[in-house]
Structure formats: structure tokens, C-alpha cells
Structure 1
Amino acid sequence: MEKFVVTGEVQLCGKIRVGGAKNAALPIMAATLLCSGVSVIHDVPYLSDIKAMQGIMTLLGAEIKREGRTLIIDSSNVHRVEVPEQLMREMRASVFLMGPLLGRFHKVRLSYPGGCAIGHRPIDLHLKALEKIGARIKEKFGFIDAEADSLIGSEIYLDFPSVGATENAIMAAVLAKGVTIICNAAREPEIFDLQTFLNKMGAKITGAGSDTIRIEGVERLVAVEHTIICDRIQAGTYLIAGAITRGDVVVENIVPEYLVSVIDKLEGIGSVIQVGENFIRVRSKELRGVDIKTLPHPGFPTDLQAPILSLLTMAKGTSIITETIFENRFKHVDELMRMGAQIKVEGRTAIIRGVPKLTGTKVTAPDLRAGGALVLAALAAEGTTEIEQIYHIDRGYENFEEHLQSLGAHIIRLNS
């Protein structure tokens, strides 16, 4: 087991370039299974979740080679349609394999996915969407079997704009007969990137980025080359890191419109934001409290709720954060309170009373984004903080300590 050791009260300054988005790379990796051929995917981050997906796809018959930040995926020999249970439990994103395998082979078997324990994340929306286009779903002994004689286009209404359900429905529908319409679809940028990739392959999809997506089924797809979009969650985390340390940080290789809601809240907190064509600069001195509610895109992202909560622990006044996406995403609060934060949680709401400073201590990362939030708190805290179970952080933050070191942070990785 490894841990981070952080010595705080250092202003972060400098430039940092974010790479490809994990949340775009994982479904696009899965989508390569829809055809037989060699796909080339550029700017794929080095993350444990990506490595886990590679392992699953290899067991299904894909041949995958990494050259730097590029994955070369040969799906010609994919023949298995059952995802091993143990690998499913390691990573929730493995559920993305359901749509492509059902679309290509009309059959798939998997168990319920794992991942961070941030709340109840049922896949019933995925299953209902697949049933709408002709899949027969059977759930028994913890396994899900989906089969279809043929997939037929239909209208799918999602009760909630789930990103995963939207992406799975798209991937299953691209090879279905006729037209599929997804209503109340999620609008995240990663879905638009999936649409771009699939359309390169020969799919006919329009509407990604809006709440209505139209898919006209095609007979076959071909392997293509594609570059993953930038990681808006990593970018937002580094902007918040600059703000919490009262520093001056420029995040490059970012599409600013992906982070409009985050920019708005950082300005409300008291940061000075400069926006360029492909960069965002944050400068902060005094911080003040704001109220935040997480919402589906383009609202404030739930994946940045934990990092910005760390920031608000040191902002003047009282702040209120309402988490509307996941009911168990305040697991970092107890750890922040060990550092001196004053936070009261009532259901899905956290009330934060700002304190002049946090103090370093030993804390544990309970999940991916909460782990990132604890690192940010440690950067601003007095003294030294040890953060354990950082394998959670490695699932979504690429070379986290190295990037922070490049901005002047005193952070090292050690064996526990």
C-alpha cells in the first residue's frame, strides 16, 4: 500500500497540461469492440481504470498494445461475450461493454459492476434502454444475461439523464435496424466524443450534447483513429488546487466551455479567472463562501464536489453544498474534520463554516474524488498530512504528485 506525504502552505504557481479524459476513453475503448479491425486511440491516460479495462477486453479476445499515450486495439478476434465476475467488481466502467457486445454479437453476460462506493448506482436505466431496442434481460444469482435475435430501433426515455445509460444505449443502437431516439439523454462532453468516434466508424448519430440523440442503425462499422478529448475533471481539480493555495495556476489543453459552471463558482468564491481559447488561469487571495448544487451537465459536476468542498473549508463565512447525483458522496467530510474543518452533513447537504486554516494529520482516501480532495486540503494545511489508500486516486488522476510537484507542491509517494 502506498501513501502521499504532503507538506502544506505552499502557493502553487505555473502551467500544467491536462491529458485525455478517462471518462471519454473508457466508453470509446469499449466501442472498438463493435467492429472487426485495428483502432488507434490517442492521448489515453495512464490510469489503473484504463489498465483494468485493457485486461477485461484482452480476456474477451482483443489484442491491445500501448505505445506511449496511444492504444492500438485489434478487435478482430473478439469472441467471448462473458465478462469475468472478479474484473466486473473492480471497475464500474466495465458495464460499458454491455452495449457493444450486445450490438455486435446480440449476446452478453456480466455481473453487477463495482467501483467507488459513492452511493447507490443501479444499472436499471441501462437495462431498460437495451430492452427497448429488443434485448431480453434475465437477472439471476448476481448475473445479468442479455440476448436479442435482432436489435430494432425504438424510442428510449431515460428517467434520469444517466451518462452510462446514454452511452450504452448509443453503442447498442448503432448496429440496430431502424432509428433509435434517446430522450432525456445526458449531455456531457464525453458523450459528444463518443458520437464523434462512432461516426468516424460509419455510424449515423446526431444530437450528442443535447437532451435528444438520434441514431440511425447501420449494417457495419470500421476501425478508425481518434484522439480523446481533454479531461475536464482533472482540469477543474488543478484550478481548485490553485485557488485553495492562493496561487496562480494555468491549466492548458482544456475547452473552457466544459467548465463554465466551475468557473462561475470559482469567481463567486473570489478567484480571478482568465479564459483563453484553450486555457484557464486562476489566481486567488481571499476566499469567501458560496452555495453549490451538483447537477447533470452543464451544471456543477458531481466529480468536483469533493475538491471544491475542501476549498470552502477555508473560505470566509458559511457555504452550503447540495449533492443531487449520489447520496453517499460526503465520505471525505470526516477526514476533513480531522484536519480542523467545520462541516455538518444533513442528508444530501453539507454546511461548511470556513476556518482560518487546516492542520496536517493522517487521513484515508475513501474514494477517487474524495482522495483528490484530501490532497488539495493537505496542500493548503499547516504542517504535514499523510494520505493513505491512494490507489483510489490512481484510478482517475494521472501522475498526480508529479503534476502537483511541477507547480511547486511538496508531495511525495511512499510505501505505507
Structure 2
Amino acid sequence: MDRIAITGGAQLHGTIPVSGAKNSAIKLMAASLLTDEPLRLTNMPRLADTRFLGKLLTRLGVQVTESDGPAGQQTVLHAPEITSGFAPYDLVRQMRASFNVLGPLVARSGQAKVSLPGGCTIGARPVDLHLQALEALGAKIDLHEGYVYAQAPRGLKGAEIIFPIVSVGATEHAMLAAVLADGVTVIHNAACEPELADLQDCLNAMGAKVEGAGTPTIAITGVARLKGATHAVIPDRIEMGTYAVAAAMAGGEVRLTNARPGLIDALLDKLKEAGAGVEPTADGVIIRRNGHRLDAVDVETAPFPGFATDLQAQFMALMTTAKGESRIRETIFENRFMHAPELMRLGADISVSGGEARVRGVEQLEGAEVMATDLRASVSLVIAGLVARGETTVSRIYHLDRGFERLEEKLGACGAQVRRIKGDGEAEL
């Protein structure tokens, strides 16, 4: 099993291009099930998660072709016909978001059998809201032996969907199903994350009629069929925020390109409050810190446009060496402080009580062997390793490969001493 080793102490200087958004790309890939014409996605990240979903889509009848085009990395997905409506557990369990093939399959072919995704290390994240939305659209849902059987032989019908709580995944799923439903669907208490607006733009390019994504109310007028389209995936705001935190942690000056800083205003405001330099540019943002120690600041996670839960672990790593005490409140997912004990192995002073962590900054972290527990936790350990004295080795980095493209290459290009140690013990720079 691969590991990543970081020798701390090097400042970061250089440019990091931000990849396409993982959380958007995987839902856009699922949209290919809605049409018999090719969907071309540009600015596509190459990640374990996109490979997992590509494997599942291929099983369902989608032809998946990756290439490097004029606009960079692209993926063409073409499903001339749905050859199977069965998504087995061994594929769905690898990535929760693959459950979102259920709605498009039912919308296009009238039936599907999709495995429940199971639990997750950062919380249960049940799919009941997904199923309630599909039932509202007229699908008959049966649960049996860990599988969802969904049927709508006469097609889905437009409906009013009221989510009791905000759910990004359920909102996306309802959108993917409703675009082919007969009539008008209105989604209330919808998630407002920018990935929703990206999905709307792609679906509309395919001939859908979707309005309001990015606001709490989304209106969808169903159409009889969708066509092929070309769509560029938005920049990954979590990757952008992660490298911004890494630059603030290590010091130096890093220019993030192919980025939209407006998507992480809540984080950038906290970086400025802590004392880091933040300078927006025409195609991204520059983050700088020249020697001085940052100040501790408090954060509380919240749905967009608030402070993203997917940046909480990275910010906690940043606060481990800040002056004073910071309080970090997690309001989105339970059990999302599992990185705290691993940061403490590096010498961090952290205490966790319920949904709040108190981080008392220390002068120096010390390198150690640590273990990743989930995607965002894994990169928080890399960030801490950038300043820890000596060498930090992060194991179980398959989590990292799910969401960060060429991380060692991007950090290494800016001067970080980071390398991948292959499972057989050989190091790969």
C-alpha cells in the first residue's frame, strides 16, 4: 500500500493549476445516462473516484473515452442504449456518489436496481432524502437485501419536492431525475453549492429546462429527451482551498491558477484574519506568508457560501502552529474530527468535545508516522507535514488519490519535499 513522505521546513514558491471539481465531475458523468448522444466533459480531473464511476457507467452501457483535447483533459461519455440497469454493491460501495445513477436510470429506462452505498467514516449520510425525492416523482421504491429497486414504467412525473434538511447529493439526484419527468418539478430547500449551478449549466446545454440552481428553490420543466453537449467542469474549490491553506502553512508565495476565488470567500476571509496575504488575480489568487506566525482564528462549518466542511481538516492543520487558541465547530457531518488524534501524533495540542475542537497552537510540529482516515483528513496530514521537523509519513493514501490529482507533483513543483513511497518500498518522486 502506497504512502506519502514529507520532509518539513521548505517554503512554497510557484504556481499550482487547480483541477476540475471532483464533486461536480462525478455528477456530470452520471448525466450521460440521460441521453443517447455523446456528452463531452472538459477540464476533467483524473482521480480514483472518476475511474470508479467510469467503471460503473461502462457496466450500464456507457462508452467512456478519456483523452487530452485542446481544452485539456476531457472525457467523452456515450450511452446509445442502457444495456443494464443493475449497479452492484462491489462497485457502488467504492464511492457513495455512484448511488446517483439510480435517478437517471429510472428517468430514461423506467427501472433500476442499485445497491445501497453503506456507511461512511465521516457519518452515516443516509440516502432517505434521495429516495423520497424519487418517490415524489412517481417512482415505486422497494428495498430488499441491500438493494434499491425503483420502477416508473410510465415515466416520472413532475412534483413538488420539499427537503426537510439541505442535502447536496439529494438535490443533485432530484435534478438528474426530474429533467426527463413529465411536467414541472420544484425543489424547495435545495442545496446552494456551486456544483449545483454547474450541473444545471450542463443539463441545460443538453436541452433541459432548469432554473434556480445555486438558490434554495430550483424549478425544472421536464423535456422528452436530452441531446449531447460539451461542458467544462468548474474548478475544484476544495482543491483550491487546500493549496491556499498549504501555502499559508508552509510560507512563501503560491499563485493558484484556473481558479475561482469567489467560491472560497469564507476560507480566504479566515486566512486574511489569521494574517496570510490574499491577492485575487485574473485567473485565480495568490497566497503569501513571509516568515511571521499566523494568529489563531475560530471557524464554524456551514453550507455554501459558508465555511466548507471539506476544508475543516485542512484549516485545523493550519491552526496547530498559530498563535493562541482556535475553536473549530463542525456542523455538517458527525465524526469528522478523526484527523485530530493523527495531528496530535505530530505534536499538535487539540481537544475534541462533541462537534467542537479546541486547537492550541504550538511552536513546532514533529514528524511522525500517521494514518489517513478519509479524503480531507489525509491531505490535512500532508499540510501539517510541510512544517513538521523531520519526516512525516502518511499511510492509507488511497483516500488522498480519490480527490487530489497529482498532489506530489503540484506541491513538489513549488519546492515541497514530498514523495510517494510505493507499496513495495520503492519511492516515486
Task: Give the TM-score range, shorter chain.
Answer: over 0.9
Q: Which amino acid aligns with 2:192?
A: R
- Distance apart, 1:147 and its partner CA: 1.1
- Distance apart, 1:106 and its partner CA: 1.9
Structure 2 length-normalised TM: 0.95
Paired residue for 1:134? Answer: 138
Does the Cα contact within 8 Å between 2:254 and 2:287 map onto a contact in 1? Answer: yes
Paired residue for 2:264? Answer: 259
Does the Cα contact within 8 Å between 1:186 and 1:210 map onto a contact in 2? Answer: yes
Paired residue for 1:209? Answer: 214
- Distance, in Å, in 2 between the alignment partners of 1:385 and 1:260 is 31
Residue 78 (str. 1) matches residue 85 (str. 2): no
- SS state of the match for residue 90, structure 1? coil
Does the Cα contact within 8 Å between 1:85 and 1:111 map onto a contact in 2? Answer: yes
Does the Cα contact within 8 Å between 2:82 and 2:109 map onto a contact in 1? Answer: no
- Distance apart, 1:391 and its partner CA: 0.7
Deviates more, 1:71-80 or 1:333-342: 71-80
Matches within 5 A, 1:163-242: 163-242=168-247
Q: Which amino acid aligns with 1:181?
A: V
Does the Cα contact within 8 Å between 1:91 and 1:114 map onto a contact in 2? Answer: no
- SS state of the match for residue 82, structure 2? coil
Q: Deviations over 1:92-131 (max 9, x none)?
A: 1101211211111121111111585111100111111111
Choose the corresponding residue for 1:409, options 390, 394, 416: 416
Q: Which amino acid aligns with 1:8?
A: G
- Distance apart, 1:355 and its partner CA: 0.5
Residue correspondences, number:
416
- Distance apart, 1:152 and its partner CA: 1.1
Matches within 5 A, 1:207-356: 207-284=212-289, 285-356=292-363
- Distance, in Å, in 1 between the alignment partners of 2:268 and 2:33 is 37
- SS state of the match for residue 411, structure 1? strand
Paired residue for 2:426? Answer: none
Paired residue for 1:45? Answer: 45
Q: Which amino acid aligns with 1:124?
A: D
Q: Deviations over 1:184-239 (max 9, x none)?
A: 10111111110000001110000011111000011110011111110110000000
**Percent of matched pairs sharing the same residue:** 46
Does the Cα contact within 8 Å between 1:290 and 1:318 map onto a contact in 2? Answer: yes
- SS state of the match for residue 226, structure 1? strand
Paired residue for 2:368? Answer: 361
Q: Note the aligned Cα RMSD (angstroms).
A: 1.0
Matches within 5 A, 1:28-67: 28-67=28-67
Choose the corresponding residue for 1:398, options 405, 420, 424: 405
- Distance, in Å, in 2 between the alignment partners of 1:280 and 1:219 is 42
Residue 123 (str. 1) matches residue 130 (str. 2): no
Paired residue for 1:107? Answer: 111
- Distance apart, 1:151 and its partner CA: 1.1
Does the Cα contact within 8 Å between 1:90 and 1:114 map onto a contact in 2? Answer: no
Does the Cα contact within 8 Å between 2:34 and 2:226 map onto a contact in 1? Answer: yes
In the alignment, structure 2 segments of 5+ residues that lack a partner are 424-429
Choose the corresponding residue for 1:147, options 146, 151, 175: 151
- Distance apart, 1:269 and its partner CA: 1.1
Structure 1 length-normalised TM: 0.98
Does the Cα contact within 8 Å between 1:261 and 1:298 map onto a contact in 2? Answer: yes
In the alignment, structure 1 segments of 5+ residues that lack a partner are none
The runs of 4+ residues in structure 1 deviating greater than 2 Å are: none
Q: Which amino acid aligns with 2:91?
A: L
- Distance, in Å, in 2 between the alignment partners of 1:247 and 1:186 is 36
Choose the corresponding residue for 1:93, options 84, 97, 106: 97
Does the Cα contact within 8 Å between 1:91 and 1:115 map onto a contact in 2? Answer: no
Q: Deviations over 1:133-173 (max 9, x none)?
A: 11111112111111123211111111122111000000100
- SS state of the match for residue 380, structure 1? coil
Paired residue for 1:27? Answer: 27
Does the Cα contact within 8 Å between 1:116 and 1:367 map onto a contact in 2? Answer: no
Q: Deviations over 1:256-285 (max 9, x none)?
A: 210110111111111111112321111123
- Distance apart, 1:242 and its partner CA: 0.3
Choose the corresponding residue for 1:386, options 382, 393, 417: 393
Deviates more, 1:166-175 or 1:33-42: 33-42
- Distance, in Å, in 2 between the alignment partners of 1:159 and 1:408 is 47
Q: Which amino acid aligns with 2:38?
A: V
Q: Which amino acid aligns with 1:308?
A: F
- Distance, in Å, in 1 between the alignment partners of 2:60 and 2:8 is 45
- SS state of the match for residue 343, structure 1? strand
- Distance, in Å, in 2 between the alignment partners of 1:366 and 1:292 is 22
- Distance apart, 1:79 and its partner CA: 2.1
Does the Cα contact within 8 Å between 2:166 and 2:191 map onto a contact in 1? Answer: yes
Does the Cα contact within 8 Å between 2:14 and 2:253 map onto a contact in 1? Answer: yes
Residue 2 (str. 1) matches residue 2 (str. 2): yes
- SS state of the match for residue 221, structure 1? coil
